Structure 1
């Protein structure tokens, strides 16, 4: 639980601190005294002003585009809210950056050093990377190899559901943390849950919580969250309900103006319209085309193999998931995996199964050029024709496909040489940075795997080609987010390539189309997928399961339609929560001092 303590920065200074002042001036009340007192007051104000400025910004200015609303949020959290703040900016405005600026400032002033960051499981490593690369703050993470527990480090990032396990919870509760940070804190909106009780028992001095939707469907959510940040602000729960919950409508809100006044001491909320950011549009072009006879035969052979040998036992479902994704990417991706299995690497195959894989390998070797390669070349030509320095990023999930893309670009005849830049997991961080610099300076095509989809911002480019599509919408958004973010000053063009009649086609049409995934922000997708996205692979396995269970093309379409209905239901719930937030916070004033 948050504890009362001295201010983050001591700005108090008065005459009592310097008892010799009056002695020095003889105690005479005259003009000299007045001048001296004014000088002392000026000194006091100068000291206070310097202590209430963000002093660490120079260290991070070359790594982050510091925006006014983010500086405002960090300053208010530190100096007006005494380190007890709920960051509730709308999606896409950089709440992670705001919290990072606060932590950097605390470390810079050498006053605080033990930080615990709790996030949903899928965001833990992303937070770790952002803290390191943007703020120079090293955090241990519970997903690190050799993680030694919460007693062993002063700065820790962890999945909240891992942290609340008995063995880890005991370690966390033994310590007093300088600051507790919780991302997506709306997951703690219900008192009495294991998560809430676990957090309530943590001892921490300062609290920095973040969510775009602090209220889901009931204004009491807000009471529960704020009570962890600043206990007692709203009085007792019954007092809060009496003031703000309509007796005849428990899911409504009353006296919202008074509620907002109380919230100003603890909550920071910027809306997109409050900022000077000019967000550009996304233009999405989906290219779905018929595979040729060879490609169709290969796809059907692989799909039949996956259905015949799929099993959840011994991790086989993960192996088959990879194979099914490879076959819609390129024949060379699936061939590389099959050849390894036939050579005895990674999977033992004998008898009829081996015969089927030999047939798959034969079909893959017969393909020399794919329809996707041809469609990609058409897009690249179009980009180069329309732009003085054409730039496009081509994403694929597989190294073998990456090699095939590069080969097709190199073999392009009758065109001026196109600079090709390559990034994949075999490159060091410095080597990746060098490739991106060359791409920025020379233009051309950056052919990359998803090893670059997080952590690097490439706003100088505004064209992305999804050569193959991750089945997880969040993974797609992470790709697009490299260029469609704050700082992009042109419309963003997203091209999606998919083979007609494949799982990739159904994902694109039935699922992504139903929730308009390519126009959702990453935060919006988090809201939509929050209940089902317990792990990064769960959504993809659900997609594969629909294919495995289908006995016919019609049944496959119905399975995906059912999944799409569930997603639309999730989206409606997310929109309702957003609308209720807007109602609760209508008229909430933003900006310091208002």
Structure 2
């Protein structure tokens, strides 16, 4: 008996019969399918393959990178003035920071100098203020006004319409329990009631010195603000939160995690301490490599992946190069061209009568500086009493910090200071010598009075050293010594020797008036030349930086009338002696002076539209070396060379900024009149210890005891840095021996994808794997080859638990079969894909034609199969010939899932062919 066909089967057979009989209908269906595929393949080929790659890598966090999920749009955040002032890259940074604050309770914005971290932070602050959160900003004292200006009803407040209402405290206010800071009463302040704390220059909190008895500012911030009261989010700003010491990040991250070592366990980081310790060990090993092998790539390949993950979770980091490469410069404006630095070597006086610097150095070395080491002269029978009173136990009593050692360190620093003052200006040197000479005179007078009088024998451990009745019997400030307990014969002799030598130095220094100051004469020559022959048409502006307020005041007094005769106004800005200006129509406060020096960048037209005159010569200390936009100016002069090159780079960042109206900018450095090697060796000899550059702590120096071999290595390291500064203007991340965390995070790719997904989500979801595109190598770092994005289908590939991209692997293989970037360098490959593909909305006809010719229009993909073999081998460490044999089927142009068979099965998500003349 026949079985009756189901009705559905009959209908299906009938439909196929109809199509078979009507060949044209079948062709129409096929044509429609091909048209759909062709639309995807031809409209945005390179752009689409870039975003398909990102979409797959980040598909498990689509909700996380969706802009609408990151910010609550009903707050009106996108209507604020500050949001609409931001460039695209800054908006991406803000969104990324808010996302990290919401997910992990904290974020470090580590964008390079000149990229606008302050405005990014202001946008984040406004977002949380719109959610009715209470916000505190902690800033270095010298940067306080940068923040308070946006909270006041003042014409200078360009964001007045946003009505910012955050509190501002100085970092140093955390050391106080009483008094006021601005309008805030520190005694009654509810420290634990802040929902968000923003820490400007957060690297200043990299150390948590638990050895001291008193509560440090770090501990106060942690215990009384972050841990106490309401749950507190922490946003930190620093151009250098980590560089030469990977562990610098530890105490900053602790603010975010509230000191919980396992806070990020769900994110693959089981222990923060172990992660940072391992990273530091890898970095230390890297530093031991020969200079020719000490490349960034070598470190990135060896460092533990959980460190990368930590940075990726908690930091936003973009560099100048990054912005120039990957963002539309027509929108953000260009950075000015950096001219080769001008190096000026000046003598001390025009007649050549004053001894050269190296002879002055010999005189400094001969000084006993006995006034700064009174414990060295305590009689032997009294030493134990002073040791009990002033020596401190550290490391839980395991060792002792002797006060005599502190005094020796102070003497080293005094010698360094004398040499620095000499380098700065003969005027500053004379002031310091005169001050020390006066202190010695006072000591000798006090000793003589003591010897002539009668006194009762006292014991240092029994008396109250701050009591006024004992003042005549004691010398010293914090550490006080009874005059009776000193070897007065020896101390007086060495004090007298110092007094006589200083008197001679002072006589010579005072002979050099401003009219005979050879360095000042060179400065006038450089400025006059610049005014007469501007670098950029009509621009007469110059900033002169010095480390010392005394030198700055001396320069202003010597230049302001001279400048007026040249037709330019001058101004002085220091943190201690205040501000001055020859422009009589303005207030003499910091912001008014800077606004009239850089009216375009400071938007003076909105603040004071009636103003017409400008300041052209600005003399300043490092009180403005951070956080200021002064890019109207096109020349910056370092009148003295700061021994920490980071500070020089920061200073130049005032004019080397986005939005500059200048085509070119010039750095000029004044050096001592000697060879660089001699200068570096002189520095080491005069200090007796090496003053090492700690590049992770902007502008601060650490004095570290060195063994001879290590000191030689550090001198060489220092010499190379100084050589770089003589030859070119460099970014922090380009400095020898430094590593930028820009190389270690993926946040920008997430923001890219978030933006693209708004209008293209369905395209990304429906595009098949195996998609590819061809482009030409239009940038220097791109070589002919293919970037493969592979997925481990079965989870059999062994990686470190915290490998950030698992189960995805991005490998760049050169056309000749070498691995350009392996899967541990995925960011570099993605960087190249972004640069070559993110904006390519039409096919690259030349590259497509080259690939078609090579593959016979896709029929012979053997050359790319071979490159894929190399990519897989680089991942698993062995050849996978069997697994790649069928990847490219005859007549096919894509690589499909399940085509790799073997011990480790991969899916080819996408591949990006770079083809053409390099």
What TM-score bracket applies, with the shorter chain setting the length? 0.5 to 0.7
Distance 2:539 2:623 in 1: 25
Aligned equivalent of 2:326, options 249, 270, 274: 274
Q: Deviations over 1:505-552 (max 9, x none)?
A: 7359999xxxxxxxxxxxxxx9x8446x598132xx57xx99xx9xxx
Determine whether 1:372 maps to 2:519: yes
Distance 1:557 1:341 in 2: 32
Q: Which residue is equivalent to 1:103?
A: 125
Q: Which residue is equivalent to 1:26?
A: none
User: Quick check: 348-357 or 145-154, which moved more?
Assistant: 145-154
Q: Which residue is equivalent to 2:808?
A: none
Aligned equivalent of 1:574, options 732, 735, 738: 738
Distance 1:177 1:346 in 2: 57
Q: Which residue is equivalent to 1:431?
A: 589
Distance 1:48 1:194 in 2: 31
Q: Secondary structure at the match of 2:738?
A: helix
Report deviation, 1:476.
1.6
Aligned residue runs from structure 1 range 284-433, under 5 A: 284-291=341-348, 293-297=352-356, 300-301=359-360, 303-306=362-365, 308-309=367-368, 313=407, 315-344=410-439, 348=443, 350-368=495-513, 369-387=516-534, 388-409=538-559, 416-424=566-574, 425-427=576-578, 431-433=589-591
Report deviation, 1:419.
2.5
Distance 2:89 2:671 in 1: 40
Q: Deviations over 1:236-290 (max 9, x none)?
A: 89xxx9xxxxxxx99759xx9xx99xx9999867641233331222221111245
Q: Secondary structure at the match of 2:172?
A: coil
Distance 1:80 1:128, change over 3 A: same
Distance 2:96 2:560 in 1: 54
Distance 1:125 1:536, change over 3 A: farther
Q: Secondary structure at the match of 2:231?
A: strand
User: Quick check: 432-441 or 569-578, which moved more?
Assistant: 569-578
Aligned equivalent of 1:483, options 655, 669, 672: 655
Distance 1:71 1:414 in 2: 43
Distance 1:475 1:65, change over 3 A: farther
Distance 2:359 2:519 in 1: 17
Q: Which residue is equivalent to 1:19?
A: none
Aligned equivalent of 1:592, options 742, 754, 776: 754
Distance 1:507 1:438, change over 3 A: farther
Q: Which residue is equivalent to 1:113?
A: 134
CA contact (8 A) 1:421 1:438 kept: no
Q: Which residue is equivalent to 1:74?
A: 94
Distance 1:328 1:382, change over 3 A: same
Distance 2:620 2:249 in 1: 46
CA contact (8 A) 1:115 1:181 kept: no
CA contact (8 A) 2:147 2:168 kept: yes
Distance 1:308 1:501, change over 3 A: farther
Report deviation, 1:574.
3.3
Q: Secondary structure at the match of 2:752?
A: coil
Distance 1:74 1:464 in 2: 31
Distance 2:343 2:548 in 1: 21
Report deviation, 1:357.
0.5
Distance 1:72 1:127, change over 3 A: farther
Determine whether 1:536 maps to 2:700: yes
Aligned equivalent of 1:178, options 222, 232, 239: 232
Distance 1:478 1:400 in 2: 21
Distance 1:420 1:358 in 2: 35
Q: Secondary structure at the match of 1:286?
A: strand
Aligned equivalent of 2:266, options 229, 232, 248: 232
Distance 1:67 1:324, change over 3 A: same
CA contact (8 A) 1:459 1:488 kept: yes
Q: Which residue is equivalent to 1:20?
A: none
Gaps of 5+ in 1: 1-6, 13-46, 118-122, 204-223, 242-248, 512-525, 550-555
Distance 2:248 2:422 in 1: 47
Distance 1:131 1:586, change over 3 A: closer
Report deviation, 1:363.
0.6
User: Quick check: 446-455 or 189-198, which moved more?
Assistant: 189-198
CA contact (8 A) 1:115 1:180 kept: no
Distance 1:411 1:362 in 2: 28
Q: Secondary structure at the match of 1:316?
A: helix
Distance 1:179 1:54 in 2: 21
Report deviation, 1:473.
1.6
Distance 1:358 1:557, change over 3 A: farther
Report deviation, 1:494.
0.8
Gaps of 5+ in 2: 1-63, 152-163, 178-185, 276-297, 374-405, 445-494, 580-586, 599-612, 685-691, 725-732, 757-918
Distance 1:384 1:508, change over 3 A: farther
Q: Which residue is equivalent to 1:152?
A: 191
Q: Deviations over 1:140-196 (max 9, x none)?
A: 455227534997354554754556849635544444423123456769988997876
Distance 1:265 1:411 in 2: 55
Query: How many residue pairs get matched?
Result: 473
Report deviation, 1:593.
3.6
Q: Secondary structure at the match of 1:357?
A: helix
CA contact (8 A) 2:631 2:660 kept: yes
Report deviation, 1:138.
2.7
Q: Deviations over 1:55-87 (max 9, x none)?
A: 5x33x58xx953232234324554798565756
